[in-house]
Amino acid sequence: MRLALAEIRHEKGRFASIVASLALITFLVLTLSALSDGLFYGSTGAIRSSNASAYAFDSQASGSLVRSQLPATDVAKFAAQPGVEKASPVGVLLTSGTGPDGMLDLAVFGVESDGVGVPASVSQGRLPNAGSNEAAVDSRLTKDGVKLGSTITVGTTPVTVVGITPDTAYQLQPSLWTSVTNWRAMQEQVRPETRGQNGLISAVALQLAKGTEPASVALPNTTVLSSDATGLAIPGVEQQRSTLNSIIYTTILVSAIVVALFFALLVLEKRELFAALKALGTSTWKLAKSVIFQAFVASVLGLVLGIVISRLVGLVLPATVPTLFRTESTVSVGIFIVISGLLGAAFSLRRIAKIDPATALGGQL
Amino acid sequence: MAPILRVSHVTKTYGEGHTAVTAVADASMEVNEGEFVSLLGPSGSGKTTLISMIGGLLSPTSGSIMLGDVEVSALSPKNLTSLRAHRVGFVFQSANLVPFLTAKENLLYVATLADKLSRKDASKRADMLLEELELSDRRGNVPEQLSGGERQRVAIGRALMNDPDLILVDEPTAALDTKLGRQVVQLLAKEVKSRGKTGVMVTHDLRMVEYTDRTFEILDGELSDAHAPNASAH
């Protein structure tokens, strides 16, 4: 190891270049993964943070809350299904409204505060009371000047904010949680074509008994999906995820190749020295360990630097870029980068093993 | 004195069938403890192949090589690595020092391979050797800051570091001019002799054999009998 460290100290420029490459690759991967997480969390918050374990949609809706329409009478029918502990109506409307600082994009959810399908936690205030003109809103709206007591108007229906809920965005729009009655009023005001659809809601939120298969409680012409599946069924979520993930994996593969080439060149250049060291009685394993150790040091330094860069860049990214830096993602990216660095270096081991100590004599090299 | 190195009927053949090339043919030689001998031959004569087999870097096709009571030619590659670390010192043509270690660290590195001395004793021994080789004030310099002669002197120190039974020297003057080459070989002879070490030096340079006790000549793989350098007809 002393040999490995001495070489890094002596060849600072060289190792700086591999550390810089790995730092940039780490930065790229972390930013992509933050974007992937940001899109995923921003799209699915309202579903992930709800207290429902499953959602029922009409069969033609492909699991989309926005597309689905069910008769309100289905709520009682679902509640009567074996395995269903609780069922509540959910109405969804993607629209815009007016807040204290101007126009807001909104995902309006019509829910029953004492039912299922509402945010499981509230960071400030409370959920709206039934039959009131109250609403709880996603914490993202606080950036737009919304606070407890603010009034938000959708169509011609004003609601007063009484609660703030964390991580409850839907399709990258902050959510507004109010009663089913208010939701219906808002929908009729901004979408006149929905007037007269009093008997319709978007979906039914379900609390299933433990171990109940979502599909087993479906009524005719309905589809029941678990909350996780509902999140993934949101248009674009799965596609964005798989696209970004494949870019991330490709980039990590590139980092392995960069490390492999770097150490292959380094070993090639040190063939004569390695032959001499072997002749002096250094085992192949000892030389291999020193190369692996150098790859480890370079990967870890590159990783740390990459994390710092991505955090700094994250600070200056405009808020409209939906990035989310999660510790779990950073840790898994870190593990991947270090492992790919070690695997890259491992490609040189065969080359090291093949160096013949006898070539140290006679100057054949 | 008893021979410490005994080479008996050693042959090294490369390739097979009618393309086979015999690099060393039925070579036998003995070197006594405390002797410094030279192995003289032109390039391609097989001298490098022979010294490589003696040093445990190549295995002979047939014959045996004994270093003290160890049959070098019968050792596994792993045991050969250990043998080289503990019992053989090498001086290569072009010093071949570790470029990113200082002169002293180059000596200490081989001490870690043999692992015979404590860190403190190794440091003391390295200082002592560097002092004898008149390199005390260069101990903290890396090879690129040293002259060719100084590098070769560090290499001699490295070869002596683990107190080996046998020191093998491969054309030590190849990278040096005649004057410096002479000084290095002279120093080498002095170090080997004063410590009662046994040394074998490969060279093609007849002028260098005067510093050795005996000379073996090798030509086209055939080793001829030893003779005293002063009796040499050249």
Q: What is the mean pLDDT of residues A100-105?
A: 93
pLDDT given at position A135: 96
> Alpha-carbon distance B173 to A279, whole Å?
19
pLDDT in tens, A246-269: 999 999 999 999 999 999 999 999
- pLDDT for position B43: 85
pLDDT > 70 fraction of chain B, expressed in percent and rounded: 96
pLDDT at B224: 86
Tell me the backbone φ, ψ of residue A225, rounded to 5 degrees.
Answer: -120, 145
pLDDT at residue B44 above 90?
no
The residue-averaged pLDDT of A111-116 equals: 93
Average the pLDDT over A20-26 and give the result.
95
Task: Count the neighbouring beta carbons within 10 Å of the beta carbon of residue A44.
Answer: 23
pLDDT at B219 exceeding the cut of 80:
yes
pLDDT of residue A342: 93
| Confidence at residue B205, expressed as pLDDT on a 0 to 100 scale | 87
pLDDT digits (tens, 9 = 90+) for B161-208: 999 999 999 988 877 888 888 888 999 999 888 988 999 999 988 888
Q: What is the mean pLDDT of residues A1-13?
A: 89
Cβ-based contacts of B174 with chain A (< 8 Å): 363
Q: How far apart are CA A196 and CA A290, in angstroms?
A: 76
d(CA A127, CA A130): 9
Residue in chain A lying closest to B94 (CA): A363
- Neighboring chain A residues of B96 at a CB cutoff of 8 Å: 272-273, 276, 360
Q: Does B130 touch chain A (CB under 8 A)?
A: no
Between A116-125, A145-154, A317-326, the lowest mean confidence (pLDDT) is in A317-326
Contact residues on chain A for B101, CB-CB shorter than 8 A? 3, 6
* Mean pLDDT of the region A180-192: 94
In the predicted structure, residue B117 carries a pLDDT above the cut 60: yes
Q: Domain ranges in chain A?
A: 2-43+238-360, 45-234
Going along chain B from its start, the domains and CATH numbers come out as 31-56+75-215 (3.40.50.300)
pLDDT at B232 > cutoff 70 = no
Mean pLDDT of A324-332: 90
Q: With a cut of 50, say whether residue A362 has pLDDT above it.
A: yes
In this model, does residue A321 exceed pLDDT 90? Answer: no
Q: What is the pLDDT of residue A363?
A: 62
User: Residue B96: which of A9, A276, A358 has the nearest Cβ?
Assistant: A276
Rounded Cα–Cα distance for residues A82 and A209 (Å)? 9
Asked if A282 has any chain B CB less than 8 Å from its own CB, the reply is yes
DSSP assignments along A84-113, one per residue? EEEEEEEEEEEEEEEETTEEEEEEEEE--T
Which pLDDT belongs to residue A73? 94
> Angle B119-B120-B124 (CA atoms, 0-180°, nearest 5)?
115
Q: Answer whether A54 touches B (CB < 8 Å).
A: no
Q: Give the pLDDT confidence score for residue B95 in this predicted structure.
A: 84
State whether residue B75 sits within 8 Å of chain A by CB: no
Q: What is the pLDDT averaged over residues A227-254?
A: 91
Give the pLDDT score at A315: 87
Confidence of residue B227 (pLDDT cuts 50, 70, 90): low
Question: Do B101 and A3 count as a contact with CB atoms less than 8 A apart?
Answer: yes
pLDDT greater at residue A322 or residue B139: B139
Q: Which residues of B fall within a CB distance of 8 Å from A354?
A: none
Establish how many alpha carbons lie within 13 A of residue A162's alpha carbon, considering only the half-sphere containing its beta carbon. Answer: 16
Model pLDDT, residue B226: 57
Query: Are the Cβ atoms of A358 and B99 closer than 8 angstroms?
Result: no
Confidence of residue B233 (pLDDT cuts 50, 70, 90): very low
Q: Determine whether the interchain pair B100/A361 forms a contact, defined as Cβ–Cβ distance below 8 Å.
A: no
Instruction: Tell me which residue in B82, B92, B96 faces A281 most closely, judged by beta carbons.
Output: B82
User: Length of chain B, please?
Assistant: 234
Which residue of chain B has the CA closest to A12?
Answer: B100
Which residue, among B24, B81, B101, B110, would best test binding to A if mutated, counting the most A CBs under 10 Å from its CB?
A: B81
Instruction: Please give the DSSP secondary-structure letter assigned to residue B173.
Output: T
Q: Does residue A318 sit at the B interface (CB-CB below 8 Å)?
A: no
Contact B92 A357 (CB under 8 A): no
Q: Which of A11, A281, A363 sits opposite B81 (nearest CB)?
A: A281
Residue B81 contacts A, CB cutoff 8 Å? yes
Which residue of B57, B82, B142 is in closest CB contact with A361? B57
Would you call B215 helix, strand, or coil by DSSP? strand
pLDDT band at A111 (very low <50, low <70, confident <90, very high): very high
What is the b/e burial string over B36-69, where b = at least 16 CB atoms within 10 angstroms of the residue's CB?
A: bbbbbbeeebbbbbbbbbbbbbbbbbebebbbbe
Confidence (pLDDT) at B19: 85
Closest A-chain CA to B45: A362
Is residue B138 pLDDT above 70, yes or no?
yes
Kindly report the average pLDDT of chain A as a whole number: 92
Please give the average per-residue pLDDT across B31-47, as a whole number.
91
B99 touching A, CB under 8 A?
A: yes
Whole-model pTM?
A: 0.83
DSSP A10-38: HTHHHHHHHHHHHHHHHHHHHHHHHHHHH
CB-based contact B85 A280, cutoff 8 Å: yes
What residues of chain B lie within 8 A of the CB of A273, using their CB? 96, 98-99
Q: Which of A227-231, A359-363, B26-30 has the lowest mean pLDDT?
A: A359-363
* Residue B64: pLDDT band with limits 50, 70, 90: very high
How confident is the model at residue B1, as a pLDDT?
63
Flag whether residue A14 sits within 8 Å of chain B, measured between CB atoms: no
pLDDT score at B234? 41
pLDDT digits (tens, 9 = 90+) for A123-169: 999 999 988 999 999 999 999 999 999 999 999 999 999 999 999 99
